A and B are shown apart, each in its own frame.
Chain A
Amino acid sequence: MFLIFALITLIGAVALTFQRNLVVAGLCLVLSFMGVAGLFLLLANPVAAALQIIVYSGAIVVLLLFVIMLLNEHQEEPASRRRPLQRWGSVAVLLVLGAGAVRLVARSQVLRTLDHAPLPPAMTLDSLGQALFRDHLPAFEGVGLLLLAAMVGAVALVKRDL
């Protein structure tokens, strides 16, 4: 089950990287987010999985697809000139980072000892609400204010003559 969701996540991400059509790339992003939500379910965290689907594959991707269709830029335009140094340099950096990640995880003793720890019960909305509104109430209000500020800022950026 873990392997299925991990493959959905990574295949969606790789398909996004190689997809020419921007609308299809946005749908690949939805696939990847759904895989991440499945991983959260397997981590016994249904609250985070629901939030992932609602906020990411709901709100953010819809906004992104809306902008893609509004700007009518469905295809990437052809490159004005070739940049072989940057292209192969970034491929080399990505390969080194990927190999380093596999090596790091395979050799880590800490991850292996944590892996055998007894697993706690699943996350519930009840305990999340208790922690959120008892310990983190000022931060919660601050995030609300931040969302308002971002909304006003986005409108101010897009509006032509304010």
Chain B
Amino acid sequence: MTFLCSILSGGLPGYILVALLLFVVGLGAVLGRRSILVQFMGVELMLNAANVALLAFARFRGGDVQGTVFYLFIIAVAACEAAVGLALVVGLYRHRRSTDTDRADALKL
């Protein structure tokens, strides 16, 4: 019961639970969909889940500013990843005329 109260009032377990569930849903988008653009969105969701966990722990373990500094570096890397990833999607579309990952099977055994 204390667990449920803690989640409803916004304690640390609630944030960690939201982060874990967000990660699972993002993984579901990567595994369950065939469009590479939706898979890309799922990867972004998983990255955000990690950020939620990072900042929740930073807050509840003394409010160290280093957590936010690391968050800043993470979103800089995420912006790079988005730019290069979308360039790769455009390149894939040029070759296959499709963003379906089932069709990009040239390396399959």
Contact = CB atoms under 8 A, between A and B. Distances in A.
Interface string B17-33: 11011111111110111
B45 A127 contact: no
B33 to A, nearest CB: 7
A144 B42 CA distance: 26
Interface residues of B, number: 76
Interface string B34-57: 110110111011001001100110
A131 B66 CA distance: 7
Contacts of B2: 112
Q: Identify whether the interface residues of B are mostly helix, strand, loop, or mixed.
A: helix
B104 interface: no
- A contact patch SS: helix
B109 interface: no
Nearest to A7: B18
A60 B59 contact: no
A64 B86 contact: yes
A115 B27 CA distance: 28
